[in-house]
Amino acid sequence: MKAVKRLIIIGLILAVLGGIAFGIYMGYKKFDEFLHKDDDAWKIEIVIDKVNIRSDHTNLEAKIGEAKKGVVYKVLEIYLEDDKFVWYKVSLGKDSEGWIASSRKEPYVKEINNPKSLDSDEASEEYFIEYNPPVVKYYEDVYEVDNIENITYDHLEITDESEYTVSHEVYYEEKPKDSNIPQYWIQYVVTDKFGNTTKKVQKIEFQTKPKSSQVKDFKKLKR
């Protein structure tokens, strides 16, 4: 009889402990879901020292706060009718909202999960944000260089208000339409810190021809 009671007590204790453990697990799960519920939301990160938060999408509206560099906000709405600024309506927490402007010439924000980049039915032209891309110019039809390792960008004139990076690919065209001689092409890719990209293609001639492994097929060139 004592053995039976002991088993019953042990069973009750295990049941209680199991219930507590399950409750803790469910609580943790809900808390984790709460922490990550906005992971896929459309957001912006401030990339300049500070920018004003206003009550509406115009610089004439009242300033209601400041957004600091590195802070991330969830985007609720966007206003694109301003020629100089892109306006984001963002969540400020506790049912509070505000508008943050980003210059089209030099954006104040970095976009995260903009619906325009989604490969789904959510992608829409209404979310397309036109920031000014870098401007790339060269003044000679042909870029002449000793060999492929000596390629530089000194002959390029690049105009952009923000920091940018430059990269390139060299392409080999075996049968050009206007020549019987194979031709090499170089494509420059200039990308600013906001992700805006400009591509520019120029003929290139080498004193020492590059190896086939160092160039790409001209047919794969995407301008």
Asked if 187 and 216 sit in the same domain, the reply is yes
Asked if 7 and 33 sit in the same domain, the reply is yes
- Structure pTM? 0.51
As given in the structure block, the two tokens for residue 66 are 């400041």
Asked if 60 and 85 sit in the same domain, the reply is yes
Asked if 84 and 33 sit in the same domain, the reply is no
Which among 105, 127, 149 is the end of a domain? 127
174-197 in b/e burial notation, b at 16+ Cβ within 10 A?
eeeeeeeeebbbbbbebbbebebe
Asked if 78 and 94 sit in the same domain, the reply is yes
Task: State residue 106's pLDDT score.
Answer: 81
Per the listing, tokens 């300033």 go with 63
Burial label, 12 (beta-carbon count in 10 A; 0-12, 13-18, 19+): exposed
Could you tell me the mean pLDDT of each successive run of 10 residues in the chain, 223 residues long? Answer: 64 66 56 50 91 94 94 91 89 91 86 63 52 86 96 92 87 90 95 81 96 94 82
Asked if 87 and 105 sit in the same domain, the reply is yes
Task: State residue 36's pLDDT score.
Answer: 41
Task: State residue 35's pLDDT score.
Answer: 39
Asked if 167 and 214 sit in the same domain, the reply is yes
* Domain span holding position 110: 43-127
Asked if 162 and 213 sit in the same domain, the reply is yes
CA angle 18, 20, 23 (to 5 degrees): 110
CA distance 121 to 132: 26
